[in-house]
Amino acid sequence: MPHHVIIGGGPVATNALETIRQFDDSPITIVCDEPAHSRMALPYWLAGQVVREHTMTADDAYFKKLDVDARIGSRVTKVDTSANELTLSNGGTVAYDNLLIATGSSPVTLPIPGTDLPGVTPLWDLAHTQGVLDAVEGIAKPRIAMIGSGFIGMIMLNAMYKRGWTLTVVEREPQILPRMLNGEAAAIAETWLGKKGVDVHTGTTVTKITDAGGTKKIELASGQSIEADVVVVAVGIAPNVDFLEGSDIEHTAGTGGAVPVNDRMQTNISNVYAGGDIACGPVLFGDDEVHPIQPTAVDHGRIAGANMAGQNVQYPGSLLMNILDVCGLQCASFGQWQSGADTMTMNNPTGNVYRSLVWVGDQLTGATFVGQANDMGMLTDVGMAKGIMQTQTSLGPWKEFLAENPFDIRRPYVAAGVAAKLRNTTLIGKASKMRQYQFGGAKATATPSAEHAVFVADRGVGGS
């Protein structure tokens, strides 16, 4: 039987190994330099809603149950594709028949004085999160300055807002969330933050950071300065591919670099796969891109795992999606959300409501939503718009209906048969299974209502 080796411990890795186990009992080795956990759970820990242990996605018992050789705490320093062998930081080696690279990404640093000071930190991993919590311990209302207002930064900002901390955001672009919202939508979110007491500085950069008795002083190019107890640097991420230098695996090192993959998650080396933040692969609309988001990582892991286990599964492509709570204002964007030649827009800044639907012909290819809970999360419009895009459904005359009724996506969704398409869609040719890891070995107890049972019942290839 082939020996499958996975580098990494995030959602790509865990979904790949569980998918492999759906098909065969081949040997699996996982190599990861940190405990397997969910980065998307870190904000909940930071907000005090869960404890650190609840961010974990695997433990020794889990790996033993799935018969996985887990090398946690080890780092890969070299990949030799001619010998099918990895070299580890401790000098050891691991041979493989199939290799999956799922090493994720790391935060980018700012090339300015002061980023190495205590209390100036990224907020990306377990150690960073613990470091921030330690730094503010004993401070009644900590002052936090966030440099960067991208998706990751704003997730962490929202967690700190829940703590009641004093928050300031600095963004070099003219608006917040520049890679998630257009200018009109971002203006609503920025005004909302101001009303919530968050100080926002856009269109300026940080020139240096100094420290005086534990208080950090952030100097801005605009001439202003900000004082903070902790400075969080969230100016971007870069894929972890440095260890591939010298290998035959096609990649581009450094910021913006990635590993090209095909629709089977294969790299240019047929028995080497890649997924998640490091993979530049198929997308639903447009050319291949890197989508560093959790849903794409899960998909990549399942596709790679199935193909490593001898299946022949093609990935239709990932849908860019970001859903974010901005201190109580809900924001979402999907697909090619940037306004195009054919865009329907509804903008009500006073009511904190924004919607745009982007079209190619009668096909919805992008959408942006901003609103409070009753205009966003309490509706199912966001999920239905996503489903329409994922199934690439042509809406025909319902396009004009949405032009007149932008808050009634449900009728086109039902009339075009999107729910039925989703129900009969499978990613890997068989039904998905619930993740086998539960904290402390707890069993899932959720019971679907009669109305929802039909959508979650095991129906062969459906529901994955």
Domain endpoint, select from 184, 212, 235 = 235
Q: Is residue 442 in some structural domain?
A: no
363 touches 370 (CB < 8 A): no
168-186 per-position pLDDT tens digit: 999 999 999 999 999 999 9
The residue whose two tokens read 């490091």 is: 278
Q: Of 103, 97, 21, 36, which Cα lies nearest the Cα of 300?
A: 103
Q: Find the mean pLDDT for residues 3-8.
A: 98
Q: How confident is the model at residue 379 (pLDDT cuts 50, 70, 90)?
A: confident
Do 129 and 231 reside in the same domain of the chain? yes
Do 126 and 214 reside in the same domain of the chain? yes
Q: Is residue 19 in some structural domain?
A: yes
Instruction: Determine whether 27 is exposed, middle or buried from the number of CB atoms within 10 Å of its CB (0-12, 13-18, 19+).
Output: middle
Residue 462: the pLDDT is 42
138-165 per-position pLDDT tens digit: 999 999 999 999 999 999 999 999 999 9
Dihedral sign (CA 452, 458, 459, 460): positive
In terms of DSSP bridges, do strands 230-233 and 98-101 run parallel, antiparallel, or are they unpaired? unpaired
CB burial string 225-247: b at 16+ within 10 A, e below: ebebbbbbbbbbbbbbbebbeeb
Do 266 and 406 reside in the same domain of the chain? no
Q: Which two tokens stand for residue 240?
A: 């972890």
The residue whose two tokens read 């608006």 is: 175
99-129 per-position pLDDT tens digit: 999 999 999 999 999 999 999 999 999 999 9
In terms of DSSP bridges, do strands 120-121 and 230-233 run parallel, antiparallel, or are they unpaired? parallel
Please give the tally of structural domains in the chain: 3
The pTM of this model reads: 0.93
231 touches 218 (CB < 8 A): yes
Residue 75: the pLDDT is 96
Do 47 and 151 reside in the same domain of the chain? no
Is the pLDDT at 195 greater than 50, yes or no? yes
Q: Find the mean pLDDT for residues 14-40.
A: 96
Domain endpoint, select from 253, 275, 308 = 308
What is the separation of C-alpha 439 from the centre of its chain, rounded to a whole number of angstroms? 22
Do 228 and 125 reside in the same domain of the chain? yes
Could you give the CA distance from residue 57 to residue 101 in angstroms, rounded to a whole number? 18
Domain that holds residue 404: 328-423
Tally of residues, the chain: 464
CATH of the domain at 230: 3.50.50.60
Could you give the CA distance from residue 291 to residue 288 in angstroms, rounded to a whole number? 9
Do 208 and 167 reside in the same domain of the chain? yes
Residue 342: the pLDDT is 95
220 CB-side CA count, 13 A:
21
Q: Is residue 315 in some structural domain?
A: no
Q: How confident is the model at residue 439 (pLDDT cuts 50, 70, 90)?
A: confident
As a whole-number percent, the residues of the chain with pLDDT over 90 amount to 86
Do 243 and 94 reside in the same domain of the chain? yes
| Residue type at 241 in one-letter notation | V
Q: Is residue 134 in some structural domain?
A: yes
Region of 417 on the Ramachandran plot (φ > 0 left; ψ -120 to 50 alpha; else beta): left
Q: Find the mean pLDDT for residues 270-299.
A: 96
Could you give the CA distance from residue 248 to residue 232 in angstroms, rounded to a whole number? 37
337-372 per-position pLDDT tens digit: 997 789 999 999 999 999 999 999 999 999 999 999
Residue 256: the pLDDT is 63
Do 226 and 248 reside in the same domain of the chain? no
The residue whose two tokens read 């035959």 is: 248
Angle at 24 between CA 299 and CA 429, to 5 degrees: 45
Q: Which two tokens stand for residue 207?
A: 């020139």
Q: Is residue 447 in some structural domain?
A: no
Is the pLDDT at 235 greater than 60, yes or no? yes
